[in-house]
Amino acid sequence: MTLRRRLILAVLAAVAFAWVLTSVLIYLSAEEEINELYDTAMVRMAQQMQALLPRVHSRESPTPQANGPIPGDADLVDEGNAGLGDLAIAAWRPDGEPLHIDPDGDRLPRAPDVKGFTNRKIDGVPWRLYYLDDPVEGWRVCVGQTMGERGELIVAYLQAQVLPWVLGLPLLTTLLLWGVARALQPVHTLSKSIAGRAPGDPTPLSLTEVPRELVPLVTELNQLLNRATALLEHERRLTADAAHELRTPLAALKAQWEVARRSPDPVERARASANVEAGIDGMSRLVSQLLTMSRLEDEETLPRRGPVDWHEVSRQVLSDCLLLSERRNVDMEIMWPGANQTPLPVNGDPALLGTMLRNLMDNAIRYSPAGTVVTLAFEPDRITVSDHGPGVAPELLARLGDRFFRAAGQQEKGNGLGVSIARRVAVLHGLAVDFANRSAADGTGLVATIHVKS
């Protein structure tokens, strides 16, 4: 169902509900007012009749014909729209003898046990009756009115109030359709503007002619466009960089494979096979790091968070790096803070933090000379990974962590993603990774420092 139809139905339902509620309130109010009006008139009539009865006490009771029109004057009587049969009056002497003062009143029962108002059916017709007794003389008066007379007046009053609503409903619906269409015009304009945009267009939507109610929506759309554009750019750069990095290893693998397959020299074939195996290992590591980097780039928040046990994380990191350490003849050591001190407190994902430390340790081991030591040191406010390698030129320190960046002249194989992954994990945990060369007094080497991001 369209928004326009929902609005129209909602407004029409609200109008119908208000119409019904108003009609009910009008009916109840009219019923109360009309009953009060007629009851007052009946009381007044009964009181006036009772005041006249003592004067006719000594006279002959009037006959029913006495209330009829005067003979010969019928053409002069104009009863208008009066309904004489709807109102009747009756009176009784103290001894219970009726006074025939109204032909319609002769149908009213004396009901000596009733005082005041009562409702009864007479000849199957509902009546409203009022009885008044003279406590001194003993005269009894009854004024009656059919209930239908009141109902007709209430219905007539209600029709007069409701009929304009019924007649105005088509006009109201027409104005409603026009108003809803005009109110939704900015939405149609906005949808056309979005539909006409080119894929990847980062230009934010204009807020100039947007109604106030749609400003939050358009603002969120602009933020979504920015995130989508950044994501597309990220994917585009990642794809381009990956293609560039994979092209050279694939070409080298193909060349080594050709040598291993066609060379007549067994030694050369063995060397080429070993190169193919090493290349496949490097390709596997590159793909694994690409997948890790892509997953981390898509993460806005940590998948899980909790207190981190650095002792357990460090044992797993050293276990993962042990094979490389033995192959490179590089020792590893862990240093912990002094007594009554705890390592850098972090709430986060232990697996991701282990990935961060493992990448930094892996890089440090790869670029350390044989016989040296790579140190993983935990302190209350930081974690450091230091090696005794050649270090990095000062002007290139700021670029460490750029994807696929490797300083010129490096002999060690790599793809430049390890530091990028470590820095991304740190960002997700509110941390930062800084790099600095060792001071001259400590010899050559690089120190990676992990600390809370300021």
Cα–Cα distance for residue pair 34/28, rounded to 1 Å: 10
Mean pLDDT over 246-254 rounds to 69
Residues across the chain: 454
8 Å CB contact between 354 and 316: yes
pLDDT at 378: 94
Domain 306-452 fold is Heat Shock Protein 90 (3.30.565)
The letter for the amino acid at 452 is V
Kindly report the average pLDDT of the chain as a whole number: 79
Instruction: Render 344-405 in DSSP notation, one character per residue.
Output: ---EE-HHHHHHHHHHHHHHHHHTSPTT-EEEEEEETTEEEEE--S----GGGGGGTTSTT-
pLDDT digits (tens, 9 = 90+) for 71-95: 444 444 444 444 556 789 999 888 8
Residue with tokens 């493992």: 358
pLDDT at 297: 63
Mean pLDDT over 203-223 rounds to 79
What's this model's pTM, rounded to 2 decimal places? Answer: 0.46
Cα–Cα distance for residue pair 254/439, rounded to 1 Å: 44
Helix ranges restricted to H, 80-214: 147-183, 185-195
Name the strands in the sheet holding 373-379, side by side, starting at the edge strand that comes first in the sequence: 331-335, 373-379, 382-386, 446-452, 431-437
The confidence band for 379, taking pLDDT boundaries of 50, 70 and 90, is: very high
Domain boundaries along the sequence of the chain: 3-63+84-168, 212-298, 306-452
Q: Which has more pLDDT, 294 or 323?
A: 323
Lowest mean pLDDT among 20-34, 37-51, 290-304: 290-304
8 Å CB contact between 428 and 293: no
Mean pLDDT over 421-442 rounds to 84
At the second CATH level, the architecture of 212-298 is Orthogonal Bundle (1.10)
Cα–Cα distance for residue pair 445/332, rounded to 1 Å: 15
Strands 331-335 and 373-379, by their bridges, are parallel
Answer left, alpha or beta for residue 62, where phi above 0 means left and psi between -120 and 50 means alpha.
beta
pLDDT at 116: 92
pLDDT digits (tens, 9 = 90+) for 268-280: 888 878 877 877 7
pLDDT digits (tens, 9 = 90+) for 136-188: 878 899 999 888 888 888 888 777 777 777 777 788 778 877 887 887 777 77
Helix ranges restricted to H, 93-146: none
The gap between the terminal CA atoms of the chain, to the nearest Å, is: 51
Domain 3-63+84-168 part of CATH 3.30.450:
yes
* Closest listed residue to residue 429, CA positions, set 346, 363, 365: 346
